[in-house]
Amino acid sequence: MAHPAFRRVPHALGAVAVMLVASIMLAACTSQTGAERPPEPGDAAVAKVDGKTVWTSDVKREAVAQGLIGEGEPLDASSDLFRRVLDEVVDQKLLATEALKRKLDKDPIAQKRLAAARERILGDMLVESVVSDAVNDNAIRGLYQEQLKLAKQSEEIRARQIVVATQVDAEAIKKLLTTGASFEALAMERSTDAATRFNGGDLGYFTTDVMPEAYEANLKTAKTGEVVGPFAVDGGFAVVKVEDRRLEQPITLESARPQIVRFLTYDQVRDLLEKLRSRAKIQTLIRAPQDVPGQPKEPADAPKAAPAAPAAATPAPKAPPAKAAAK
């Protein structure tokens, strides 16, 4: 289960409910502080609801909460999306104002829900603060370089293939190639492999460990320019030409960045929660489940449940594997 600091309400009604309690708290604060000021530098007023200002940041925050844009992504105030979310924010403020008029915020249950919403918001703010300080470009580049050093570069092969139904047909293809026939032309004319036929049989660059065993066995020692086969494959017999061999190219920093950011974010939140738990006195007041005679039990080799850990929209990421960093 996701930690409250990373919990998000998945449906539109849930989002309205959370925004409603937040709006009630905001409305109460605004009525006490008097004049409104831009909540963020460069913020612009985009609407007023009964004299209370709706800011650009209010609309962007709601769009992020609904998953319509990512954190930090721009949202053009002239776009249809902005206007649609603005209408929703206005509706939420109207609902919150009406709830205050009806004194729903005084109800004990409402007080508990408001307090829970406040805790979620404060938890989110703490997490955002910790992550923004630690997950910076230097940290991302540092982990990327560390993974490159650990990565083992395999050899990549670029090859073309012609797949035909029988070994006799494949031998005939190979004989034509020895007389100077174009491999690409024969692939387009004779190959039965729909995935590669129309690009001249081009398989692109690959490492042999991701290919069927027959390819790995026949290509691992083949030299550049050599025609290999025929050998049996799914769908018939293949004749393969090795066009190039090179060391596997490492993944670029920009391609690796999202995975690295997820890992560093999880790492920071995990460390924060471990420190907070170590300093807090936590008592669990519910009993552990007891064995009931006749109740089915998990087999001894069943995987253990993962410990509760903070996660946003994705499971807790592992450190970027050295192998992956090299692809």
Examine residue 230 and say whether the peptide bond preceding it is cis (omega within 30 degrees of 0): yes
Shared domain for 258 and 324, answered yes or no, is yes
Q: Decide if 289 is inside a domain.
A: no
- Classify residue 293: in a domain, yes or no: no
pLDDT at 218: 85
Residue 37, phi then psi, degrees to nearest 5 = -125, 155
Tell me: do 212 and 263 sit in the same domain: no
- In this structure, is residue 265 part of a structural domain? yes
Q: Supply the DSSP symbol for 314.
A: S
Q: What is the end-to-end Cα distance of the chain in Å, rounded?
A: 32
Based on the domain organization, do 172 and 256 belong to the same domain? no
Q: With 80 as the cut, is the pLDDT of residue 291 above it?
A: no
- Cα(269)–Cα(276) distance, rounded to whole angstroms? 10
Q: Tell me the pLDDT band of 195, cut-offs 50, 70 and 90.
A: confident
**Do both 159 and 88 map to the same domain?**
no
* Average pLDDT score, the chain: 77
Distances (CA, A) of 299 to 191, 289, 296, 304: 50, 17, 9, 11
Whether 4 contacts 119, CB under 8 Å: yes
- Based on the fold, state whether residues 242 and 321 are members of the same structural domain: no
Among 193-202, 284-293, 299-308, the minimum mean pLDDT is found in 299-308
Q: How many domains does the chain have?
A: 3
Whole-number percent of the chain with pLDDT over 70: 77
Please indicate, yes or no, if residue 300 is contained in any of the structural domains: no
User: What's the token pair of residue 11?
Assistant: 């449906």
Degrees to nearest 5, angle at CA 115 with 50 and 102: 40
What is the dihedral angle through the alpha carbons of 138, 139, 140, 146, rounded to the nearest 10 degrees?
110
CB 311 within 8 A of CB 2: yes
Do 204 and 268 belong to one domain? no
Return the pLDDT at 294.
67
The residue among 133 and 174 whose pLDDT is bigger is 174
- Residues 180, 164 share a domain: yes
SS3 for 269? Answer: helix
Q: What's the mean pLDDT in 291-311?
A: 53
Q: What are phi and psi of 225, to 5 degrees?
A: 90, -10
If we measure between CA atoms, which residue out of 69, 30, 75, 31 comes closest to residue 57? Answer: 75
Does residue 179 sit in the same domain as residue 190? yes
Asked if 193 contacts 201 with a C-beta cutoff of 8 angstroms, the reply is yes
The Cα angle at residue 100 between residues 99 and 106, in degrees rounded to 5: 100
Question: What is the helix (H) or strand (E) element at residue 218, kind and residue range?
Answer: helix 213-219
**289 or 9: whose pLDDT is higher?**
289
Domain boundary among 70, 96, 120: 120
CATH number at residue 214: 3.10.50.40
Residue whose C-alpha is closest to residue 92's, from 15, 32, 29: 15
pLDDT, tens only, 2-61: 443 333 333 333 444 444 444 544 444 444 444 567 877 788 898 988 888 889 888 998
Identity of the amino acid at 30: T
Which residues lie across from 163 on neighbouring strands? Answer: 238
Asked if residue 62 and residue 11 are part of one domain, the reply reads yes
Q: 19-33, 161-175, 253-267, 279-293: which range is least confident on average? A: 19-33
Residues 273 and 225 in one domain: no
pLDDT of residue 297: 63
Helices and strands in the chain, H and E counts: 10, 6
Label residue 75 exposed, middle or buried (CB < 10 Å: 0-12, 13-18, 19+). middle
Residue 303 lies in a domain: no
- The dihedral sign for the CA sequence 144, 146, 149, 152: negative
What lies within 8 Å, CB to CB, of 49 at 6+ separation is 90, 93, 94, 97
State mean pLDDT over 126-153.
80
Whether residue 259 sits in one domain with residue 217: no
User: How far are the Cα atoms of 210, 247, 314 from residue 213, in angstroms, in the given order?
Assistant: 9, 21, 34
Domain that holds residue 200: 155-247
CA distance 188 to 173: 12
- The whole-angstrom separation of Cα 277 and Cα 284 is 13
Per-residue model confidence (pLDDT) at position 268: 85
- The closest alpha carbon to 27, from 128, 107, 103, belongs to 103
Examine the pLDDT at 77 and tell me if it is beyond 60.
yes
Residue 51 counted as domain residue: yes
Are 262 and 314 members of one domain?
A: yes
- 284, part of any domain: no
Neighbours of 2 (CB within 10 A): 14
For the segment 80-136, what is each residue's pLDDT rounded down to a tens digit?
A: 999 999 999 999 989 988 998 999 889 999 899 989 989 988 988 888 888 887 888
Integer Cα distance of 100 and 104 in angstroms: 6
